[in-house]
Amino acid sequence: MTIRLVFGRPLPGTVGETRRVVHVFEAPTGDEVPERLTALCGLSFGAGELERLDALRGMPCESCLHRTPTPDPELIDGVAEPRR
Ligand SMILES: [Zn+2]
pLDDT tens, position by position, 12-22: 999 999 999 99
Residue 29 pLDDT level (bands cut at 50, 70, 90): confident
Q: How far is the CA of 70 from the centre of ligand 1 (A)?
A: 16
Q: What is the pLDDT of residue 55?
A: 81
Q: How far apart are CA 32 and CA 34, in angstroms?
A: 6
Domain boundaries, the chain: 5-77
Alpha helices in the chain (DSSP H): 62-67, 73-77
CB 22 within 8 A of CB 53: yes
pTM for the whole structure:
0.75
Residue 47 pLDDT level (bands cut at 50, 70, 90): confident
Q: How far is the CA of 30 from the centre of ligand 1 (A)?
A: 23
Q: Ligand 1 is a single-atom ion; what residues have CB below 5 A from it?
A: 23, 39, 41, 61, 64
Q: How far is the CA of 29 from the centre of ligand 1 (A)?
A: 20
- 32: Cα within 13 Å, side-chain hemisphere: 4
Residue 40 pLDDT level (bands cut at 50, 70, 90): very high
Q: What is the pLDDT of residue 78?
A: 55
The greatest distance separating any two alpha carbons of the chain, rounded to the nearest whole angstrom, comes to: 38
pLDDT score of 56 more than 80: no
